[in-house]
Amino acid sequence: MTRKSFERLTEDVRRTALLEATLDVVSQDGIPGASVRRIALKAGVSAGLIRHYFDTKEDMVRAAYMYLMDGLTMRAAEMAAKAKGQPEASLARFVQANLTKPSISEHAVTLWATFIGLNKSNAGYSDVHRDAYREFLEILEALIFPVLRANDRPDDSTTCRQLAIAMNGIVDGLWIEGSLAHGLYDSADLPRIALHACEGIMRLPDGSLTKHLTL
């Protein structure tokens, strides 16, 4: 019997490939369907190899979760950095970016939700979520502060924090429903809906944020 020919990859490349295969399978078949064998098949690799990179299946799944959330928050931070200019434009672009593709994605929401569902049964997962959430809040706060200052609104840290919590809530909520593509409305409206709401939340004049909407 002849063996399958294979390619030796560097540790990082193979490891990342395994993590991405894990996310693909979990997203497609759910946690119940995410067996070691199916993940290995997706990665084009024999099942035994997984134990060469991860001590246990759960280690791999948790690593995949961290990989996912790191990617999401990193992209969010990049979008925030890219949106330089006036404060309102930066904030608007950040919100808009989170509510358009590729952020709007059934794949990502499915995974995000799946892992939140594991929060309670496994302490490791809740740490990952909390860290990602905190980071997102910090990014939002940093974007909110200059907008408040430029508009002569109260900009103390408590206010910033509470506005960030509220605006993160609306972005998250719309991100979820928009990504699930249930057909109840056109998710192309979401950026406008969100920005109009954020204007109100921050008590800014109408149009302050929505006028920065880009097609």
Partner DNA sequence: TCCGTTGCTATACATTTGTATAATAATGTG
Partner DNA sequence: CACATTATTATACAAATGTATAGCAACGGA
Long-range contacts formed by 49-56: CB under 8 A, 24+ apart: 49/14, 49/18, 50/18, 53/11, 53/14, 53/15, 53/18, 54/18
Reference 194, options 179, 176, 209; nearest CA is: 209
Spatial separation of the C-alpha atoms in residues 171 and 125, rounded to whole Å: 22
Which CB sits closer to a copy of itself, 85 or 117? 117
Q: Is 166 in the site for DNA (CB under 7 A)?
A: no
Q: Is 120 in the site for a copy of itself (CB under 8 A)?
A: yes
Reference 129, options 140, 142, 118; nearest CA is: 118
Structure-token match 């509510």, residue found? 99
- List the single partner that 56 binds among a copy of itself, DNA, none, CB under 5 to 8 Å by kind: DNA
Q: Segment contacting a copy of itself (CB under 8 A): 37-45, 83-91, 101-109, 143-151?
A: 101-109
Per-residue x/- track, 17-36, DNA (CB under 7 A): ----------------xxxx
Restricting to residues 51-80, which ones interact with DNA according to CB under 7 A? 51-52, 56-58
Residues contributing to the site for DNA (CB under 7 A): 1-9, 11, 14, 33-38, 44-52, 56-58
